[in-house]
Amino acid sequence: MSSESNALPSPAEATADRPWYRQVTRDQWHAFRAVFVAWIVASFDFNILAFILIDIQQSYTVDRALAGALGTVTLLMRLVGGTVSGTLSDRWGRKVPLILSLLWLSLFACLSGFSTSYTMLFALRALFGLGMGGVWAAGMPLVFEHWPTRLRGLASGMMLGGWYWGYLFAAATFEFAYPLLGEMADSPWRALLWLAAVPALFALWIRRYVTESPVWLARQRQLHEAHLAGMSPASRPSVMRIFAPDLRVTTLQTTLVIGSFMCLYYSVNFWYPTFLRDAGRPTLPYLTAFNLGAIAGTTMWGMLSEGRLGRRGAATVTVLLGIASLPMYLHATDPLVLGAGALCMGFFGMGIWGMAPAYTSERFPTEVRGVGPGFCYHAAAAFGAMMPTLLGTLQDRGFVLVDAMSIAMIASGLAAMVIWLGPETRGRELTP
């Protein structure tokens, strides 16, 4: 028998032969779980508002434009939170800003339930947005700087699926807890917001079990060695670095790409529960179909973006198929067709988000991988923040909701093609 036949496989070959989930270490899984759960919490606390907009209108006697503005102000303030948290995560590490952001958003989501006026509720939802932006900016680089490059697309899709799990939990809570709370409180919508205090306890688990990003730690060692050698570069706030000449176009183009994704999402999602309630339909079956489709879609398209399609090709295919789902999603009358439309819209229309976390992290170097994606993602969210208020205003002026949602999605989907103005980022190494 030849020596080649007796040779042991290399570590890389042995790893590749194992199922993908066994190629991920314990520390990598802990980082994923921490950010995944934090993103579910952020999604639940944000999306529960969509189910109680009618109640808020009645409690404070406001029109639909002002009700939609509660979503808009949260999205706008995410930009501030993402920028601050991203800057801190580039200086202090990814872990501490993630914990602080989770505690912040849980606190102000809970306090929103104690609002005594629309103005107070508006202010508290704005403060909530700071923590929501911080979770993304600190959390996403923590995951992708831990995970293997070849599995980054899959992790990206699964991570974004956390948003839809949060939405699904919000839908189930509204369906089953809301009727019970109505018998216990004068304003049951407040109790749904109070639930946000519970997940803050998860911060204790993150503090104990999650390790700091190895890529960020390696960069800190490099900076320390350079400092000792007298070659340390001039200190510069990382938020300013993303507007330097070599990154300025990257920052602008990434913001435009994710901004189109945001407009697409809020075009068909924020007012969807109201669309169902206005039509006298139960919310849970359709929202379950939508969000299960989105969970499967983001995972599938994130994984496919690691192949020949790449990030840009996968985004393009999902946009086209999402637009094709509109007739079933909003304009059908048969319950089964509407349910199928919700499933397709989730799988295809929302599948575009599967590559977004990886794509934004791959566009920036380690020194600004917190503030770069954090700023771009939440500047995009601020841009997408127009949609809840815009669609509410159109309704106040007599526009049919489903038509407004359809036009907004088509325009947003076409705008998403700006992704082709930038490079393909699949397979990029996230080096110190």
Is 236 domain-assigned? no
Q: Domain total for the chain?
A: 1
Is 281 domain-assigned? yes
**Of 23-32, 146-155, 295-304, 386-395, where does mean pLDDT reach its minimum?**
386-395
DSSP secondary structure string for all residues of 201-268: GHHHHHHHHPPPPHHHHHHHHHHHHHHHTT-PPPP--HHHHTTSTTTHHHHHHHHHHHHHHHHHHHHH
d(CA 202, CA 34): 8
Is 218 domain-assigned? no
> What pLDDT is recorded for position 13?
47
Q: Which two tokens stand for residue 31?
A: 């980082």
Residue 120 has pLDDT above 90, yes or no: yes
3-class DSSP state of 23? coil
Average pLDDT of 198-223? 87
Contact, 133 vs 80, CB < 8 A? yes
Is 270 domain-assigned? yes
Is 306 domain-assigned? yes
Question: Residue 181: which H helix or E strand, with range?
Answer: helix 152-181
d(CA 326, CA 407): 10
Q: For a pLDDT cut of 90, what percent of the chain falls above it?
A: 38
pLDDT digits (tens, 9 = 90+) for 7-54: 544 444 445 567 777 888 999 999 999 999 999 999 998 888 888 888
d(CA 369, CA 141): 6
Note down the domain range covering 299.
Answer: 25-204+241-421
Name the band, by pLDDT with cuts 50, 70 and 90, for residue 261: very high
Is 145 domain-assigned? yes
Is 9 domain-assigned? no
In degrees, rounded to 5, the angle at the alpha carbon of residue 128 between the alpha carbons of residues 125 and 130 is: 125
Residue 285, judged by CB atoms within 10 A of its CB (0-12, 13-18, 19+), counts as middle
d(CA 279, CA 284): 14
> What pLDDT is recorded for position 182?
66
Question: Residue 427: which H helix or E strand, with range?
Answer: none
d(CA 132, CA 69): 17
| CATH code of the domain in which 273 resides | 1.20.1250.20
Q: Which two tokens stand for residue 375?
A: 């700023």
Name the band, by pLDDT with cuts 50, 70 and 90, for residue 417: very high
Contact, 254 vs 376, CB < 8 A? yes
d(CA 78, CA 277): 28
Contact, 51 vs 333, CB < 8 A? no
Is 5 domain-assigned? no
Which of the two residues, 9 and 236, has the higher pLDDT score?
Answer: 236
pTM score over 0.85: no
